[in-house]
Amino acid sequence: MNKHYIFGAMLLLTSSLAFAQQKPLTTNTGAPVGDNQNSVTVGQDGPVLLEDIHLIEKLASFDRERIPERVVHARGAGAFGEFVAAADMSAYTKAKFLSQAGKKTPVFVRFSTVVHGNGSPETLRDPRGFATKFYTEEGNYDIVGNNLPVFFIRDAIKFPDMVHAFKPSPILNKQDPARVFDFFSHQPEATHMLTRVYSDYGIPASYREMNGSSVHAFKWINEKNEVVYVKYTWKSKQGERNLTMAEAAKVQSQDFQHATVDLYTNIKKGNFPQWDLYVQVLKASEFEKLDFNPLDATKTWNESVAKSMLVGTMTLNKVPDNYFDSVEQSAFSPGTLIPGVEASEDKLLQGRLFSYFDTQRYRIGANFQQLPVNAPKVAINSNNQDGALSNKGKSSDTNYQPSRNDNRPDNAAYKHSSARYGDVAITQARISKPNNFKQAGEFYRSLDETNKANLIKNLVADLGQVQNREIQKIMTGYFYMADSDYGKRLAKELKLTREEVEAALQNAQKQ
């Protein structure tokens, strides 16, 4: 037999077997698709028939591919991994995933930019979101933070206004520094965060090379029901690296999604990024000795106030199989808590406890926690039921509690801790000890000369576009109050005198 004929027959057989092993294309209900290239028509040149179910399903599915974009943190990338506890933290918290050194907990992390929309360049000046979901044996626990350790505001009532100022103009659909600084000229507490975000830390070189922070304080409760306040910090084992304005422009000209590419490329190569998790601890009795409110989201806890303790190490080692399923549909909330962790009285955090859950229910639906990326690894045993796309699989006739037919006891370990507030009245006022400028000045003085120069250059690039000189004067005044050298440099670049700045501040304080 001709050897070429044998080779050809073997090649044909191999191709046939490979074709047979391929999964056939199906409709959403699993029926095989006969022709995915041509619609069903009346004759060769007639109109398309409505009875072409595959065509109608395909178009209808395509029309519904998008879900509402996140209002903030729209642009992101995520990865799966593992957290390994470094020590037994049970002296402070009864959270089981921190109960012994070496204990492993699977995680999912989503990194993001904050203000800009989905598809925007990852080189833009912006805080970066750093949200971690721990799939613990007691349910899911989310640490939802940013790369920078503070925030612009300290009260959630200002959050919608702040985001509106950052977002494009409702008239021109264009982001405008004049709108941003107009808002912040009324918010002196933003001076600290503005100093950080306009430094080179405002553009991390990659998601792998940035730190993370809970920003807010939380409560840890141990088995004795003793309460301490904690703040979390993720420290990159790859080191921190940032981009200057010029470097960011160069990167963006080559690849506007460089941070996502960098994260996924390194994980696929086996270069798994790692972060150490540290915690700082304060007792409520220590609050009074501080010259600021430690529950103020515009403040950090310096090491002199509370030493950092290593809690564990996180390694990201798996890229999601499908971006939409795992990253776009992932849902985080600072209210996703477990026994041993509670929210603090931080006024910004208190608003986020409502807003984050609410936006996920709007964006993804009432049953967003059933999606695989959001679902806990433990059994769900609640009386919540039904709703769009429910897949709870409830089979009991008793969907209420208490019941003599289905006696499911409460979990005493998750009972809320006690707190006393004394003889107080309901009030609506600014916090005590705002101390708006001290930490901003300390951060400025911690920068080397190159970074100070870059900070001034970055600020002038945006603040210099503001036509309203009164806003320029007030903002410069805030930076003066943080550090005189800081204010002088900025005033010089904006061609402002100190007398003009002081007069503007005095007028602003009278308003």
- CB burial readout 466-479, b (16+ within 10 A) else e: beeeebbbbbbbbb
DSSP string across 251-297: HHHH-TTHHHHHHHHHHHTT---EEEEEEEEE-GGGGGGSSS-TT-T
> Distance (Å, rounded) from C-alpha 442 to C-alpha 456?
16
Residue 20 has, within 13 A of its CA and on its CB side, a CA count of 6
Q: What is residue 137's DSSP assignment?
A: B
Collapsing DSSP to helix, strand or coil, 2 comes out as: coil
Which residue, among 109, 110, 107, has the nearest Cα to 83 in the 3D structure?
107
> From the candidates 54, 73, 116, 192, which is the catalytic residue?
73
Amino acid present at 436: N
Angle at 374 between CA 373 and CA 376, to 5 degrees: 105
Q: Which residue has the tokens 């933290």?
A: 89
Question: In whole angstroms, what separates CA 265 from the centre of its chain?
Answer: 21
For residue 268, count CB atoms less than 10 angstroms from its CB and return exposed for 0-12, middle for 13-18, buried for 19 or more.
exposed
> Distance (Å, rounded) from C-alpha 133 to C-alpha 320?
14
Q: The tokens of 182 are what?
A: 């107009």
- Pure H helices in 379-468: 438-446, 449-463
Annotation-wise, does 356 bind a ligand? yes
Annotation says 73 is catalytic: yes
Which residue, among 223, 207, 265, 188, has the nearest Cα to 438 in the 3D structure?
188
Annotation says 391 is catalytic: no
- CA torsion 454-459-460-461 (nearest 10°) is 90
Amino acid present at 343: A
Which residue, among 498, 493, 501, has the nearest Cα to 454 in the 3D structure?
493
- CA torsion 389-383-373-118 (nearest 10°) is 60
> From the candidates 140, 146, 367, 458, which is the catalytic residue?
146
The total of other beta-carbon atoms located within 10 Å of residue 416's CB is 8
Q: The tokens of 301 are what?
A: 């806890």
Phi and psi at 451, nearest 5°, equal -70, -35
> Distance (Å, rounded) from C-alpha 201 to C-alpha 212?
12
Q: Known catalytic residues? A: 73, 146
Q: Which residues are annotated as a binding site?
A: 356
Q: Which residues are annotated as a binding site for heme?
A: 356
